[in-house]
Structure formats: structure tokens, C-alpha cells
Structure 1
Amino acid sequence: MWNFLGAVKSKIMVLNSVSGEKVNKHIDYSFQMSESLSSRETSFLINEETMFQKNQQSKDSIFFRDGIRQIDFVLSYVDDIKKDAELKAERRKEFEKNLRKTGLELEIEDKRDSEDGRTYFVKIHAPWEVLVTYAEVLGIKMPIKESDIPRPKHTPISYVLGPVRLPLSVKYPRPEYFTAQFSRHRQELFLIEDQATFFPSSSRNRIVYYILSRCPFGIEDGKKRFGIERLLNSNTYSSAYPLHDGQYWKPSEPPNPTNERYTLHQNWARFSYFYKEQPLDLIKNYYGEKIGIYFVFLGFYTEMLFFAAVVGLACFIYGLLSMEHNTSSTEICDPEIGGQMIMCPLCDQVCDYWRLNSTCLASKFSHLFDNESTVFFAIFMGIWVTLFLEFWKQRQARLEYEWDLVDFEEEQQQLQLRPEFEAMCKHRKLNAVTKEMEPYMPLYTRIPWYCLSGATVTLWMSLVVTSMVAVIVYRLSVFATFASFMESDASLKQVKSFLTPQITTSLTGSCLNFIVILILNFFYEKISAWITKMEIPRTYQEYESSLTLKMFLFQFVNFYSSCFYVAFFKGKFVGYPGKYTYLFNEWRSEECDPGGCLIELTTQLTIIMTGKQIFGNIKEAIYPLALNWWRRRKARTNSEKLYSRWEQDHDLESFGPLGLFYEYLETVTQFGFVTLFVASFPLAPLLALINNIVEIRVDAWKLTTQYRRTVASKAHSIGVWQDILYGMAVLSVATNAFIVAFTSDIIPRLVYYYAYSTNATQPMTGYVNNSLSVFLIADFPNHTAPSEKRDFITCRYRDYRYPPDDENKYFHNMQFWHVLAAKMTFIIVMEHVVFLVKFLLAWMIPDVPKDVVERIKREKLMTIKILHDFELNKLKENLGINSNEFAKHVMIEENKAQLAKSTI
């Protein structure tokens, strides 16, 4: 492959004839010198030529010095004075020589002309012959005819959404075409008006990166070394990146092509456009399909959140309007009812008795999220998540057609062997597909690394659980302090306060837990990347899949463990005043508020979810901005030098191969908050909606202004994240059913309403008294009784147990078993109903919309017809119009075409 284009001089003939002699002289000279000198010496001699005046070049130029050849990629490096400096120089020399052999054209900028006075820049241009050859190798689809299929028409309701629409020239920057995989032997078939602009810049940088990732740079330790990634890892080159089109704040000036970066910034990255739709086709054209599909997913998810947010807000408003008429909170706040109920101490010895009406405001606030609408919203979200995933499959199928990904095969660079894998491999094995010898690592050599990886992940998950237990211990240890401070005589004087000891410790504990989560997450990101490398994955795809599994498992435990604890464990194993359960035989288990633990779960969820979103957006905005400011500050040491386009981009932050991975991880983690615990917090979808509206613009702003342009790569789906979303959707049905049954107070209220109420006009009257059991103070063990003696004979506690004067005293009464049976029945019924609706919706909604199926068939048919007519015309020219042989070929080709139609 390396010699398929011949000598470099023969490649240059495709350039403009006006400046051809000048360019030939320049490239011939640099090629001859590269045979005998290092890249550093070559760059010095190139820059000494009198043919070029640096001050005549625009700082926004994206061309070579001749103003004709477009820069498709840039490599940079700095002189290394360490012991391996000569080795790195030799690697660069060999690498650049081999790049020239593939047909790429290089132009080197000396460090003396750079702003910092120490960085060399290697500019790379792919001429036409290279582009057409590798476009065929990569199977890039190019237009052969303008499509006759009209774009989908707007429905009548879509005209109401006129303000959110973008101009058609921005939304659809190019017409739709019928496309076919490019073939250099059929160039006449394709719509080539100008060779310089036929391949978009995203395709050009993708082709150049493909060559860079496979270009050899020498033989070391008896093995052939190749690939720009290995050179970057060894600091032979400091960076490799394609150029942005120009400045993001102003359009390009001729001869530069249209500045798509400016268009994206004006119509996508500005926060004042938060209500506008995204220019998805333009994003795809500029950054590639892989980044494009992320923003399609994020935008679609945000649109679907709008409906969940509206319903959740309606449920919250219902709770707000019915708060004053809630019988339970009315009884708790009533001085004659709640004010007369003396509650048992919440901790041993130092805690005093307290009156129930001291939790008046907390009980009213709890009703906002724990009311009849909670059940409805839990069922609604189970259906919503199904609709979201099913409609996303349709959106994805439509996207595959619109972006020419129907016959997509996995990106070659994702399946490429990682340099680290090759370096560690001592064995080689025959590939059954390619029939070539490839590096191979036996399973037994990798088992120790897998064991280390598994042990590390388990250790960190255990650390998360340990930190959660530590927070629980913190809450238990400080609870007594808050209780003794807030529940002294004031509680017995019927003071109503929102800041009960439970709420106070819950707030401080949630804030502390959030800080611990951020700290653990910061360190685990570094650890997980390290242990994934230690596993020595074979390909980049395997590396990303392994890292995804580790990061998601950890994030799941880290962010959700405290919520699971409050929802399903807190207050469930407390015991009763005469026989409490203890943590580590020292701290009494936490109790829930008399109104239930749902308000504490809401508090925990709100702090973690809101804190994570605010912290994430601030970090995403400030982190690259601060780094770029500092990098430019250090680089601009020679202000009289030309601050060129490649230097400006060099000083930007690199998005990195895992940049998109962390964006998906953040979105999927938020999806968990919205679905897994949404029964306790109907406003979660609204918070997620607001965050995502900001997130889209923050991501757009940082990509267009603060990051280098990424190498365009293809993807036809969101990959393994889709399977994770499906798993969380199924789990969310179970978690919300259990939250309604065991964390919410709705089931005990319904049981009382239908089975135990004795008031026909106001059925819920007396519920609070019914839900509290009686304990004889004399039965307190000495080590748990309050130190200060009171005149009370009994106190109350939250449970369903027989009173002390019954023969079964302190055993669970029949109402407890009725409530438990009702809770289990509700869980079974809700899960079966939601799952039945889910399966029906999944069966009714096709994965690929009918109109997309028809459009795919139409395009395949037209493509075959166009190719058929092209081949016949070509054959006609070769064989002659009246020849019998031509007629035979026509019949054969027509039969083939008919057969192809029948298969479609």
C-alpha cells in the first residue's frame, strides 16, 4: 500500500497550474532533504527559503504557504533534551518519510516562527489521489444524484413551534442526495464539481487520521512499530489534531472556505438560543456522526423530559393545593390531637420525650411529595420510560437513513489494535478472517490482570459502602446533640418547627454524603482508567467497553447507594422502645419521621442530583476556559510573531478519546435519578429538563470555542449505553413500586381508609392515632430510659403493635399484617400492569418507521438503477453501439437489475 502512488513529484501535478512550478520546486526540495536530514534540520532549511514571506500570510489561513493546498491535519512537537531525544528525532524522520510515501504532503514550520519559540508544527495535506483511494478503502458514501424524495412535511401543530425552528439554510446546509460507496474507477458517476471541495473537511481529516494511525515509524525490538497514537504516548509528538475552519466569532474571508464553526457558534453555542432546535446535520458534517448522534440523543431525551416534567409539576401543584386540607397533617398540627401525643425518645438517655405537633411543618412539607398523585406518577413514569426508549429506536433508525449509516460497519479505528496491546504481546496467531499473523495474548497471561481489576473495583465499591456507613454513623452520633438542643422543654411546650432533629441531620448528612461522592468519584476516574489499561484490552472498542462497565458500576453504587438506603432500609429495622436494634451494638438504628421516610429520600435526592448537575456544568465551563487562558498566557511570549490558525488551535484543550464517554456517563447517571427514585420526587424531571437545556449549550460552547476540533468518526447508535438504559428502565419499575409501598405512607392510609376507619363522613379522621402504638414508660430498660424523669405513664411510637395491657403486648397486631399484605399486593399489581403496558407498547411501536423503510427501499432501488445505467453506458462506449456483444451485455445487466429489485 505504501507505494501505490509512486514518487511525491508525480502527486503534485493535480495542483493549480498557475503555481505548479513553484510548488513542485518547494516539495522536491523538501523531499530530497528529508532523505538525509532530520525533520528538525529540514524544517530549518524549508523556512530559510526566500519564496515565502511569513508576514504575508493571514493568521486565519488554513492553507499551505502556496495558498492552494488545504491543511487537513497538524502534528506538533517540542525539542526534547532528554536522553531519548535522538530516538524521537529518528522516529519523526522515519514517520514523516513514510507519510510522504503514502502520498500525503507535508510542510514544516520552524520553532523560530512559532509564538512560544519552541514548538514545531508539521502541516499535512491529502491530495486528490490519496483522498479517492482511501475513500474507497473506508467505504465513504458520496453523492451520485440529488434525492427526489421530499423531506418530511411539517404537521399542523409544528407551525406553533415556529419560534424554535432554525433557518432552513442552517438546519439543512446541503441538499439530500442518493449516495453510493465511492470508487476511484467510477469517478464520473459522482457529482464532482470541484475536487477541492468534493470531500468535506470532516471526511478529509478522517482519511488522514486513518493513514496516520497505520503509518510505520521503524522497527524496534524486532517488531514493526506504527501509528500516531504510539508516538503521542511516547511524547515523540506532543499533539495531533485537525484544524477548525476559522474563528468562531467571525465568518471566514476568501480564499478560506465557509466557516462552519462560526455558523455553529451563532446558531447553536449561544445561550440566548436555548429554546432553539439544534443544527444536527451541521454538527454531523463538522464533527462527525459519533459526536452528532450524542447531541441527537441528548436533544431527544430533553424533548421527552418536557412531558415528564409537565406531569411531575402538575403532581407537585396538586400536593401544594391539597396540603392545607390533608387530614394527617391537620391532626398532627392540632394542639388538641398532635399536641397531646407524647412521643418516645429518639435516642437513648440524652433524648427527651417530645410532642407530635413539633413536626407540624415537616408533615405538611412531606405531603407535597407523599399524596395520592404519587401512585399515578410512578405508573406514568414506568410508561414514559418505555415510550422514550421505543421512540428513540425510531429516531435512531431515521437517523441511520438520513446520515447514510444503514449499511454501516464498525469504525475501523475502533477495531484497530492498541499499541499497548501489541507492545505486551509475545505471541502471534493467525487471524481466521484476514489470514494474517496478528499479536495474540493467551488467556492465562491476562487472568492476573483481570483478578487485579476485579479486586480493585470491588475494593472501591466497598469503600463507597463504607463511606455511606460512616455518614450513617455521623448522623447517629450527632442526632443526640441536635435532639438535646432542639427537643428539650421547648418540644413539650408545643413549639412547631420545620427543623426537626430528623430533618436537620438528614440535611447535613446529605451534604456531607454529596461531598464524599465527589471526592470518591474524582479518584476513581483515575483508578478505573489505570486498571483498564492494566487489563491490556486488544482494541479501542474493548478498552471503551471495559471502562464503561467499571465506571457505570461505580457511579451506580456511588450516587445511588445512599438513596437506596433511605428508601429501603432506614426505619425498617428499628424495633420498638423496649427492644431497639443497634448498629455495631452501639448506635440505635435510625428512625423515620412520623410522616415516613419519603421526605428524607426527597431531600437526599434533591441535594445529590442538583449538586451534581450544578457542579458538572460549572466544571465543564470553567475547567477548559481556565486551562486555555493559562496555556495562551504562556504561549504568547513573542507577540510580534504571527499567531497562526494551527497555533491558536494548538493552545486549545483536547477533547480526548474519552470526552464523549464522560458526557454519556453524566447523562445516563441523570437518567437514573429521573427514573429510579422519581416516585419520591416528581420535580426530578423538571430539574433534569432545566439542566439539559443548559447542558446542550454548555457542550456546544465548549466544543466550538474551547476545544480543538475532534477527528470525525462514525457511529450508528449510542452503543452499550442503550443496553444500560434498558436495564435501568426495568429496574425503575421495581424501585418505584417499592418506594410507594414501603417508603411512602400511601398504602397504610388506604388500608385505614377502607378497613379501619369508623367515621363515615371523614374517613381519614383518627389515622394518626391509629398509626401510633403505645409503650409503657416503666418498661424502658435502664440504659435506654431518659435521664430526666417525667410524669408520663406512656409514650407513642410509629408501628402497629399491641398495647402493654394486652396479653400479646408489643407483638405485631393484625393491622400490621393487613398493611404488609396490601404493600406486597400493590407491588405485584403495579409491576404487572406497568410491564404489560411496556410490552404492549414495545410490540405496537415498530423499531423502524414505515416511511423510513419505504425511503430506504426507494434509495436502494434508485442507486442500483443509476449504477446499472452508468455501467451500461460505459460498456456501450467500450464495445460500440451496434455490436451484438453489447446487446448481450445489456440483457445480462438488465437481468441483474431485475433480480436486485426483487430482492429489495
Structure 2
Amino acid sequence: MGDPDLLEVLAEEGEKVNKHIDYSFQMSEFQKNQQSKDSIFFRDGIRQIDFVLSYVDDVKKDAELKAERRKEFETNLRKTGLELEIEDKRDSEDGRTYFVKIHAPWEVLVTYAEVLGIKMPIKESDIPRPKHTPISYVLGPVRLPLSVKYPHPEYFTAQFSRHRQELFLIEDQATFFPSSSRNRIVYYILSRCPFGIEDGKKRFGIERLLNSNTYSSAYPLHDGQYWKPSEPPNPTNERYTLHQNWARFSYFYKEQPLDLIKNYYGEKIGIYFVFLGFYTEMLFFAAVVGLACFIYGLLSMEHNTSSTEICDPEIGGQMIMCPLCDQVCDYWRLNSTCLASKFSHLFDNESTVFFAIFMGIWVTLFLEFWKQRQARLEYEWDLVDFEEEQQQLQLRPEFEAMCKHRKLNAVTKEMEPYMPLYTRIPWYFLSGATVTLWMSLVVTSMVAVIVYRLSVFATFASFMESDASLKQVKSFLTPQITTSLTGSCLNFIVILILNFFYEKISAWITKMEIPRTYQEYESSLTLKMFLFQFVNFYSSCFYVAFFKGKFVGYPGKYTYLFNEWRSEECDPGGCLIELTTQLTIIMTGKQIFGNIKEAIYPLALNWWRRRKARTNSEKLYSRWEQDHDLESFGPLGLFYEYLETVTQFGFVTLFVASFPLAPLLALINNIVEIRVDAWKLTTQYRRTVASKAHSIGVWQDILYGMAVLSVATNAFIVAFTSDIIPRLVYYYAYSTNATQPMTGYVNNSLSVFLIADFPNHTAPSEKRDFITCRYRDYRYPPDDENKYFHNMQFWHVLAAKMTFIIVMEHVVFLVKFLLAWMIPDVPKDVVERIKREKLMTIKILHDFELNKLKENLGINSNEFAKHVMIEENKAQLAKSTL
């Protein structure tokens, strides 16, 4: 039976049980002093508002058609048993908006609770909550009060059944179903309620009416104001509790009231905050280790032999380096990069290797422990037997509108809308071409930034490395660093611009693909957005890490980009400091921009909307009008939150060997992010429709993919971008000083070039008295028969780099697989709790059925004993399966 048919059957039953009077047409005209502006009830003060629809008379386009649709839709809603109350536009604050308030009576709730398989409590659980460990008392200041952390007792639950109502703990019908379940049930009815027949097809669903602007909005109400508790007769204001204990920035160090979040917003939003909180907790350990590595670099900076030799006027000050660009650049002294070399040591030292290996293991522990946290959450939130949310699997109105064919569903044996593959193929090609085009645009923009860096490099070099550098002036702002800073800032601006346009285009082309369900739509959009974000945010970091300075050539035979610009060289201390600069600017800039945008954007929109709406101050600014003037979170609001977190995860893992402080920056950002998200959800957005989810979905697969890739990227960064491997090779194979093995490393790492060998078009325009200059490479000197060819040390270093990559990847992957094997996906205590709950649920149901059977059979003991034996056998069989 399809959804519309099911709705008709339930509507017939609803008409039988719902013998109410439509109060919206019989009560007197609304008066301001009859109701509090914070009331969440109908005018009678008894029936709670579960959902609100709003619309504005549109006299410009299809006004009569829309009015007819609304009339038919609201008539059908009443037939299902829902109660409606309409607020005239004359009573609204702006004088033009109608509000349709919806209440679901008891019979509707119990009917659809059974249809949706909602689990409700049957007995208070006898399984104790996890006990605090000794370390928990140390964490006392971060704990929330138990009444906030656990707002309700734990219960054994079972799927609700109308015919077993006596089984459930129903103390008050008005409060038995929480508001999140009530709005979920009403939305289920709204999404399947028909509003007419057009073009021979039955049209149904609130989403289609919203898309056609028949209704302007549909939303459940918040419990009350976020800045004050509710007053009777309103129920407990969970929104106020959430704001006080979760959304305040002064509570940044406190744990989150996860159960309360789940109860108010539903499991799907709840699990996002569980994930964000768990990820932030795990970042704490990575941040501590990363900070320790940074402190080690800071303490050892003054004792670093390489930077000491570079800064020494008698060593680095006597080394004349080859020009950094053709003709306009002059020779320069190595000690002019003294401060830059010291700063480079902060991130390029012996701890770099340790931290790269540590992060490879950390990411495995994070993902494995997240599996356990997710399994524990499934038990605590009653999601063990969860089936995919039906509203995610329902057909999208756009899909049904575009379908001209119907096909028999092999499972349901019913005719369903069907779109042949050949009608979708053109859109798939368009989608693929668009994604490819935009990813190419990202690469093109990156090349443009590289061209900018090459173009302005000569300007910086000629300005900063003229005669002043030959006079041994020491400066942190070398041409490489200066160009890298300006190029990174420009690249970040380009990234934000491209990201803004691509978000709009990706949503458009995903709609053009005409996905069948909301789940297919979200999966398709996720793939497009992640691919683009990956290329957009990480491409410049990949360039600096793996390409810059690797194919430069040597003086007299440099490589050129487009035969015009000479390839970029790395600083004498290596390219790692430039990768660190690039990563810091993009990561920090994105996080700051994202938090400001998330806070300012809804705040400004809501202020402007309220300013326009409040034109009649003498009117009652009611609860539904206040929520109407808030920003809508939207079906993709959570998608962008996940995308932001996963993008940050990439910065923390893929390039962390170059920047040990990345986890610390991510930790600080996430502490702020949690409170910003909490603040905007509780104060700036309408309440979302509660929906279920038992995991973070496709994002978990993306995290696993990035975790595997991060092992390779960090191994290559240490090997080819860092200077650690060449130092180790020199230390063990080429050093001649037994007491100070690293003495002479700088001189050893620089090759000699004869100035006379410069081609005319590349030699500096100003003549100097120098005979030779130095450049970073391992090549034979000009007086050798293998002049300027790579020497043996180059091959030794290359072999050491490849060996390090192979060894590090195998060690980290081996540890990853061992940890994944040793750490169970579901903790043992959770397995036992699940078994215990299933057993108790079966026993409770068994006892209930036996008692009911005894009542039906009366005093016939023999017959009753016979049935008892049958039921006990069934229970025993069920117990044995556990």
C-alpha cells in the first residue's frame, strides 16, 4: 500500500474518532488580552500547537489556484483527525500573513506512533547508568547537573501499539508523547496529505506546496522564549534550559546536554553534536602532543646547528647565493635568511617525524573509538533496531512532478513514479561536466596565483636583496616568505569566492539530476561538495608540499613555467615553512570567517525581518509570529556543518607534519563552534522537525578515506618537504666531526656554480667580483668531469627518503590494523546491556499478553494453563536466540 492510500485509510479512521468542533470558526474574534504572547496553545488554552503553516495572499500569480489547494489540503488534514485553527491576517503583526495552527489529538498520535514504529517506555530500566571513574571527580567542573544531563529516567521501551496502550507508562495523555515526537508525526501527515488532482495525478505533500509558494513556511514551535522559563500552563521550556546550559559562551568548558538536545531537536541533530564533541575531546590529546613538539622546537631553536651556521657571519655571511630570478635579481648572502631559518626550525625538527607517526595512530584511535561511541549512542538513544528514516526515503516532489512514467514496485506490488535512465543521462553528463569545469577552474586559479607569485617575486627580490643583503642584513621577510604570505592571502580570497559560487551551482545541478529520494539528493550533493572542497582548499597545500622547489633545475639550466617564468625555489631551509604559512592562513582564515558568518548572517537577517514585520505594535506578537520571523535551518543546514568539520579534519590530518599546532587551532575553533552552533539553533533559527539517524552516514566513509590518505601525505611531507632526511643522511654518512656531527651541514647541502657559466639572458645585469655562487642541491662542482650532474649524495638522500616513506607507511598501517582489530566496534558492556534490554522487553510483553489472555479466558484454569505453556515456550525460544 503506497503512502497516499495509507493516508486515506487512516483518514477514514480519523474521521470516526475525531468528532471535534472546528474552534477556528466558532470562537469569537481574537482579542489581545485573551492570550499570552508566549502561549503555545490554541485559543482555548488546552490544545497544544504542534505545527504552524503560514501563507500570504498572492494576488499576482495563481491566487485562485493556490487558495483552492490550501482549502483542499486543510480539508484533508481535518479528515486525518488533525485540528486546525486559523489566525486572520488582520491579527498578525505585519497585517498580511495568515497562520494555520495545527494540533494532533490523542487518537491521531497513537495511530501514527504505531505507523512510524515510535518506541515508548513500558518500564523504568533496572540497568544502572555507567559509574564515574576516579578521574571523573577531577573533571567535576566540566560536568553538568544530573537533572540537565539526564532530564528523564531510562526506560525499557517497545514499539507503540494502540491495542496495547495499557502496557505503556501513560500518566498524562497530554505529555506522554514529547514535543519532538508530536512534530515528527504531524510532519509525516503533512508530507503525505493530498491537495488535489492535477494532470490526472494525485498531488500531495507540504513540500510541494512550499515549493510552489502556496504556503510560505511550515515549522514546529519552540517551547518558549530562550531567555526566560515558561509560565503555567505552558510545559517545561526545554529551549530555555538548553540556552542556559549549552548555548552560553561562558559554558565553553562544560560538557553538552546531549540527551536534552536529542529530546528537543531529534536524533539527527543530536548525533552531529555528539560527533563534534567527541572529535573535540580527541583533538585535546593531539593538541597537547603537537604543542609539546612546538615547545621542543622553540627550546632547541638557539642550539640548532644549521640555523647557527646560516646566521654566523663567518659561515653564512661568506656564502654568496645565486640570484633567485633572472637578470633583475642580484646575488645575496645566506645569512640574510637567518631569522627565517630559525623560525623554520620550530616546525622542521626531530619531533616532526614523531608527530607524523603519532597523528597516523591518533586518527585510527579516533575513528575506532568513534565506532564505540556511536554503538553506545545507539543503545542509549534506542536506535539499535533503527530503520532508515522514512522521510529521507520518501519521493521528492520534484521527482514526482518530472516523472511521466510509472513502474510496478517488485516489493510493494504497486505502481510508482519512474524515470527511465535515458531521460537522466543528459543531466548526468551536464552534472559531471560542470563539476569537472569547476574543479578545473580551481586548478586554473591556483596556477594564476603561482603566476602572481612568480611575477612579483622579482620585485620583492630586487627590492629586498640588493646591496643591503650583501652587507649581511638579517631579515625574517625573505623574498620567499614575503611572496608566500601575499600569495597565501590572495589564494584564500579566491578560495572563498569560488566556494560561494560553487555552493549555489552544485545545489542547482543536483536538482537537475532529479534524485528520487531526499537521501539520494543529499548523497549526490555530498559527493560534489566534498570533491570541490577537497580541490579548492587543499590544492595549494599539495602544490607547496609536493611540487614547489622539486623541479627547479640548476643555475644555467632552470625550468620555466610557460617558457616565461622561472620555477619557484624553496628557502635554503626547505619548503616546510612555506607549507606551514600556507596552511596557517587558509585554516585559520576559514575558521574565523566561518564562525563570523554563522553568527552574523542569521542575526542580521532576523533583525531585518523583525524590523519589517513589526509594523503594528498594538497587535499581539504571538509565539508563532516570533518563530516565523526567525531564520529557517533548512534541510541542508546540518550538511554544511558536517562539511565544515570534515574539511577541518583534512587540515588536521593531511598536512599536520608541517604544522604541529594545527590540532590546537582546531581545538580552539571547535570549542567556539559548539557554542556558536548551539546559540544559533536556540536563538536564531526556527525549531527543526525531529528526525532520526543512527550514524553520521556517508561522512564516516569520507573520514576513513582521508585517514588513509593522511598517512601517505605526511610520510611524503617528512621525506620530500622537510629537511630532516638530508640531515640524517649527513649525520650518519657524511659528517667528519665526531664531537659535533652536524657541523658543516649547510655547506654540504649547497652546490657550487661558476658565474661564468650563466647564460647572458639569465645573469644579473650588474657585474660582480664573485667567481662562484651557491645553490641548494647535490651536484658536482664545475671543476669535476661530471660537471653539474647529481652526485652520489643526492642518490643516497633519495634512497633514504623512499626508504623512510615505505617504512613509515608500513609501520603506521600495521599499527592501524592492529588497533582496529583489538578495539571492538561495540563495547562489551553495551552488548550485555542490549541483550538485557531485549530480554526484559520480551518478558514484559510476555507477562502483559498472559494477563490479557487470563482476563479474556476468565476462570477456565486448564485452558489458561495450556496458553501459559505455549507463551512460555515462545518466550524461552526468544531468550535462547539472544
Into which bin does the TM-score normalised by the smaller protein fall?
over 0.9
Q: Secondary structure at the match of 1:137?
A: helix
What is the rounded CA distance, in whole Å, between the counterparts of 2:811 and 2:486 in structure 1?
39
The reply to whether residue 688 of structure 1 matches residue 659 of structure 2 is no
Change (3 A) 1:770 1:747: same
What is the rounded CA distance, in whole Å, between the counterparts of 1:418 and 1:570 in structure 2?
47
Q: Deviations over 1:693-740 (max 9, x none)?
A: 000000000000000000000000000000000000000000000000
For the Cα contact (< 8 Å) 1:166–1:279, is it kept in 2? yes
The reply to whether residue 632 of structure 1 matches residue 610 of structure 2 is yes
What is the rounded CA distance, in whole Å, between the counterparts of 1:768 and 1:227 in structure 2?
73
What is the rounded CA distance, in whole Å, between the counterparts of 1:776 and 1:78 in structure 2?
82
What is the rounded CA distance, in whole Å, between the counterparts of 2:16 and 2:752 in structure 1?
100
Q: Deviations over 1:200-224 (max 9, x none)?
A: 0000000000000000000111111
- Aligned residue among 742, 749, 759 for 1:781: 759
Q: Deviations over 1:579-630 (max 9, x none)?
A: 0000000000000000000000000000000000000000000000000000
Q: Report how far residue 55 of structure 1 moved.
A: 2.0
What is the rounded CA distance, in whole Å, between the counterparts of 2:713 and 2:12 in structure 1?
72
Q: Secondary structure at the match of 1:74?
A: strand
Q: Deviations over 1:456-495 (max 9, x none)?
A: 0000000000000000000000000011100110011000
What is the rounded CA distance, in whole Å, between the counterparts of 1:190 and 1:660 in structure 2?
34
What is the rounded CA distance, in whole Å, between the counterparts of 1:13 and 1:489 in structure 2?
85
Change (3 A) 1:630 1:683: same
For the Cα contact (< 8 Å) 2:22–2:83, is it kept in 1? no
The reply to whether residue 204 of structure 1 matches residue 175 of structure 2 is no
For the Cα contact (< 8 Å) 2:11–2:79, is it kept in 1? no
Percentage of identical aligned residues: 99
What is the rounded CA distance, in whole Å, between the counterparts of 1:637 and 1:185 in structure 2?
51
Q: Deviations over 1:266-317 (max 9, x none)?
A: 0000000000000000000000000000000000000000000000000000
Q: Report how far residue 23 of structure 1 moved.
A: 15
Q: Report how far residue 227 of structure 1 moved.
A: 0.4
For the Cα contact (< 8 Å) 1:34–1:93, is it kept in 2? no
Change (3 A) 1:362 1:555: same
Change (3 A) 1:737 1:281: same
Change (3 A) 1:736 1:33: same
In the superposition, the TM-score normalised over structure 2's length comes to 0.98
Q: Report how far residue 31 of structure 1 moved.
A: 7.6
User: Where does residue 313 of structure 1 map in the other structure?
Assistant: 291
Change (3 A) 1:810 1:81: same
Q: Secondary structure at the match of 1:27?
A: coil
Change (3 A) 1:471 1:438: same
User: Where does residue 839 of structure 1 map in the other structure?
Assistant: 817
For the Cα contact (< 8 Å) 2:268–2:693, is it kept in 1? yes
What is the rounded CA distance, in whole Å, between the counterparts of 2:456 and 2:201 in structure 1?
63
Aligned residues: 877
Aligned pairs for 1:81-480 (under 5 A) are: 81-480=59-458
Change (3 A) 1:13 1:67: farther
For the Cα contact (< 8 Å) 1:245–1:260, is it kept in 2? yes
For the Cα contact (< 8 Å) 2:22–2:85, is it kept in 1? no
For the Cα contact (< 8 Å) 2:69–2:196, is it kept in 1? yes
For the Cα contact (< 8 Å) 1:349–1:783, is it kept in 2? yes
For the Cα contact (< 8 Å) 1:16–1:68, is it kept in 2? no
Q: Report how far residue 886 of structure 1 moved.
A: 1.7
Q: Secondary structure at the match of 1:166?
A: coil
Q: Secondary structure at the match of 2:814?
A: helix
What is the rounded CA distance, in whole Å, between the counterparts of 2:418 and 2:490 in structure 1?
48
For the Cα contact (< 8 Å) 1:429–1:440, is it kept in 2? yes
Change (3 A) 1:343 1:19: closer
Q: Report how far residue 19 of structure 1 moved.
A: 24
Q: Deviations over 1:748-804 (max 9, x none)?
A: 000000000000000000000000000000000111000000000000000000000
Compare 81-90 and 616-625 and name the one that shifted more. Answer: 81-90
Compare 363-372 and 82-91 and name the one that shifted more. Answer: 82-91
What is the rounded CA distance, in whole Å, between the counterparts of 2:447 and 2:26 in structure 1?
70
For the Cα contact (< 8 Å) 1:34–1:97, is it kept in 2? no
Compare 648-657 and 15-24 and name the one that shifted more. Answer: 15-24
What is the rounded CA distance, in whole Å, between the counterparts of 2:304 and 2:21 in structure 1?
85
What is the rounded CA distance, in whole Å, between the counterparts of 2:151 and 2:767 in structure 1?
82
- Aligned residue among 4, 8, 19 for 2:13: 19
For the Cα contact (< 8 Å) 2:14–2:81, is it kept in 1? no
Q: Secondary structure at the match of 2:21?
A: helix
Q: Report how far residue 170 of structure 1 moved.
A: 0.2
Q: Secondary structure at the match of 1:362?
A: helix
For the Cα contact (< 8 Å) 2:127–2:833, is it kept in 1? yes
Q: Report how far residue 889 of structure 1 moved.
A: 1.1
User: Where does residue 716 of structure 1 map in the other structure?
Assistant: 694
What is the rounded CA distance, in whole Å, between the counterparts of 2:126 and 2:9 in structure 1?
35
Q: Report how far residue 32 of structure 1 moved.
A: 10
Aligned pairs for 1:40-79 (under 5 A) are: 53-79=31-57
Q: Secondary structure at the match of 1:484?
A: helix
Could you say what the CA RMSD is over the residues aligned between the two structures, in angstroms?
2.9
Compare 217-226 and 708-717 and name the one that shifted more. Answer: 217-226
Q: Report how far residue 885 of structure 1 moved.
A: 2.0
Q: Secondary structure at the match of 1:249?
A: coil
What is the rounded CA distance, in whole Å, between the counterparts of 1:34 and 1:511 in structure 2?
64
For the Cα contact (< 8 Å) 1:394–1:848, is it kept in 2? yes
Q: Secondary structure at the match of 2:739?
A: coil
For the Cα contact (< 8 Å) 2:7–2:193, is it kept in 1? no
For the Cα contact (< 8 Å) 1:165–1:276, is it kept in 2? yes
For the Cα contact (< 8 Å) 2:17–2:81, is it kept in 1? no
| Unmatched runs of 5 consecutive residues or more in structure 1 | 1-11, 36-51
Q: Report how far residue 56 of structure 1 moved.
A: 1.3
Q: Report how far residue 160 of structure 1 moved.
A: 0.1
Q: Secondary structure at the match of 1:446?
A: helix
What is the rounded CA distance, in whole Å, between the counterparts of 2:209 and 2:453 in structure 1?
52
What is the rounded CA distance, in whole Å, between the counterparts of 2:222 and 2:27 in structure 1?
30
For the Cα contact (< 8 Å) 1:116–1:637, is it kept in 2? yes
Change (3 A) 1:726 1:34: farther
Q: Report how far residue 30 of structure 1 moved.
A: 5.5
Change (3 A) 1:28 1:782: closer
Q: Report how far residue 881 of structure 1 moved.
A: 3.1
For the Cα contact (< 8 Å) 2:11–2:81, is it kept in 1? no
Q: Report how far residue 882 of structure 1 moved.
A: 3.1
For the Cα contact (< 8 Å) 2:781–2:788, is it kept in 1? yes
Q: Report how far residue 444 of structure 1 moved.
A: 1.0
Compare 882-891 and 389-398 and name the one that shifted more. Answer: 882-891
Q: Deviations over 1:489-529 (max 9, x none)?
A: 00110000000000000000000000000000000000000
For the Cα contact (< 8 Å) 2:18–2:107, is it kept in 1? no
Q: Report how far residue 27 of structure 1 moved.
A: 2.6
User: Where does residue 46 of structure 1 map in the other structure?
Assistant: none
What is the rounded CA distance, in whole Å, between the counterparts of 2:287 and 2:136 in structure 1?
21
For the Cα contact (< 8 Å) 1:74–1:124, is it kept in 2? yes
For the Cα contact (< 8 Å) 2:247–2:676, is it kept in 1? yes
Change (3 A) 1:835 1:375: same
For the Cα contact (< 8 Å) 1:305–1:689, is it kept in 2? yes
| Unmatched runs of 5 consecutive residues or more in structure 2 | 1-5
Q: Report how far residue 53 of structure 1 moved.
A: 3.4
For the Cα contact (< 8 Å) 2:12–2:80, is it kept in 1? no
Q: Report how far residue 435 of structure 1 moved.
A: 1.1
Q: Report how far residue 26 of structure 1 moved.
A: 8.5
Q: Secondary structure at the match of 1:77?
A: strand
Change (3 A) 1:677 1:402: same
Q: Deviations over 1:802-860 (max 9, x none)?
A: 00000000000000000000000000000000000000000000000000000000000
What is the rounded CA distance, in whole Å, between the counterparts of 2:33 and 2:743 in structure 1?
88
Q: Report how far residue 884 of structure 1 moved.
A: 2.3
For the Cα contact (< 8 Å) 1:132–1:182, is it kept in 2? yes
What is the rounded CA distance, in whole Å, between the counterparts of 2:531 and 2:25 in structure 1?
53
What is the rounded CA distance, in whole Å, between the counterparts of 2:839 and 2:496 in structure 1?
55
What is the rounded CA distance, in whole Å, between the counterparts of 2:202 and 2:449 in structure 1?
54
Q: Secondary structure at the match of 2:344?
A: helix
What is the rounded CA distance, in whole Å, between the counterparts of 2:861 and 2:395 in structure 1?
52
Q: Report how far residue 24 of structure 1 moved.
A: 10
What is the rounded CA distance, in whole Å, between the counterparts of 1:188 and 1:14 in structure 2?
28
Change (3 A) 1:673 1:20: closer
Moved over 3 A (4+): 12-26, 28-35
Q: Deviations over 1:368-427 (max 9, x none)?
A: 000000000000000000000000000000000000000000000000000111111111
Q: Report how far residue 432 of structure 1 moved.
A: 1.2
Q: Report how far residue 54 of structure 1 moved.
A: 3.6
What is the rounded CA distance, in whole Å, between the counterparts of 2:7 and 2:480 in structure 1?
81
